[in-house]
Amino acid sequence: MIGICDSGVGGLTILKDIHKRYPRLDITYYGDEANMPYGDKTKEELEKIFSDIKAYFKDKGCTDIIVACNTMCSAIEFNDDTIKIHDIITKTIDKLDTPKDKKVLVFATPFTIKKGRYQKGLAEKGYQSEGIALKDLARDIEDGIDKAVIKDKLYQEFRKHQDENIGAIILGCTHYPIYKDLFYEYYKVPVFDSLGLAFGLEDSDEKGAISLHMERSDKLAHFLKEYIGDIKL
């Protein structure tokens, strides 16, 4: 069994992607709504939260944890002798295949932008980039705020970052692929996210089971339907 975690619904984008590729893998999903949003927290707070989540997954007998949260991936260490912990940031950067003479815009939470793993990783590969912190977007998505309102707020932010030289966008928060279309619609350049990453997982023989550790309130019902769909829980 593997564990997938995020502060809320964002990591369901990764869960859905993994389940599609490994339909027989058992998955436990930890949506940490009690501590949402992670993007405003300190490194120490995030480390403490992750150690609790890790203990939860170990208790469940998980062999691997996919940290489906860029903010958490910007705060923690991945070395652990007792359980395999998978990062998504380096693998997301590796997906980029756009020309290097153009700038990459990275949209993410304030913590992720401040830590700068994307900006540093992109610079190492010869890309110029600009990190843009979206302080409300993850929370707004989590709260089920109307798409038209989200679009308005996002477009106000986008207008501050217009440039002929933009060649690609990275969605550096797993909540954002839910509204990937808004980023593409405005910038009309390739938009990269953390889906389709290779984690070296092995599918098992039995039919996989998925369990969710999250409050399944009404506000989340449409996300569960959209991101879990017909998956049997």
112 vs 129, which CB is nearer to ligand DGL?
112
The active-site residue, picked from 5, 62, 69, 73, is 69
Q: How far is the CB of 140 from ligand DGL (least distance, A)?
A: 11
Q: How far is the CB of 227 from ligand DGL (least distance, A)?
A: 13
Q: How far is the CB of 231 from ligand DGL (least distance, A)?
A: 20
Q: How far is the CB of 68 from ligand DGL (least distance, A)?
A: 7
The active-site residue, picked from 5, 62, 73, 173, is 173
33 vs 64, which CB is nearer to ligand DGL?
33
Q: How far is the CB of 8 from ligand DGL (least distance, A)?
A: 6
- Residues contacting residue 71 through CB under 8 Å, at least 6 positions apart: 7, 38, 39, 41, 46, 108, 109, 111, 112, 173
User: What residue ranges bind ligand DGL (CB under 6 A)?
Assistant: 6-7, 10, 36-39, 69-71, 109, 112, 138, 173-175
What does the radius of gyration of the chain's CA atoms come to, in whole angstroms? 17
Instruction: Please give the backbone phi and psi of residue 34, each rounded to the nearest 5 degrees, phi first.
Output: -60, -30
- Active-site residue flag, 173: yes
Residue type, 21: R
Write the burial class of residue 185 (CB in 10 Å: 0-12 exposed, 13-18 middle, 19+ buried): middle
Instruction: Please give the backbone phi and psi of residue 162, each rounded to the nearest 5 degrees, phi first.
Output: -110, 140
Planar angle of CA 96, 148, 214, nearest 5 degrees: 70
3-state secondary structure of 93: helix
4 vs 104, which CB is nearer to ligand DGL?
4
25 vs 75, which CB is nearer to ligand DGL?
75
3-state secondary structure of 210: strand
For residues 109 and 38, the answer to whether their CB atoms sit within 8 Å is yes
Helices marked H in 27-136: 43-60, 70-73, 89-94, 110-115, 117-124
105 vs 208, which CB is nearer to ligand DGL?
105
Q: Which residues are catalytic?
A: 69, 173
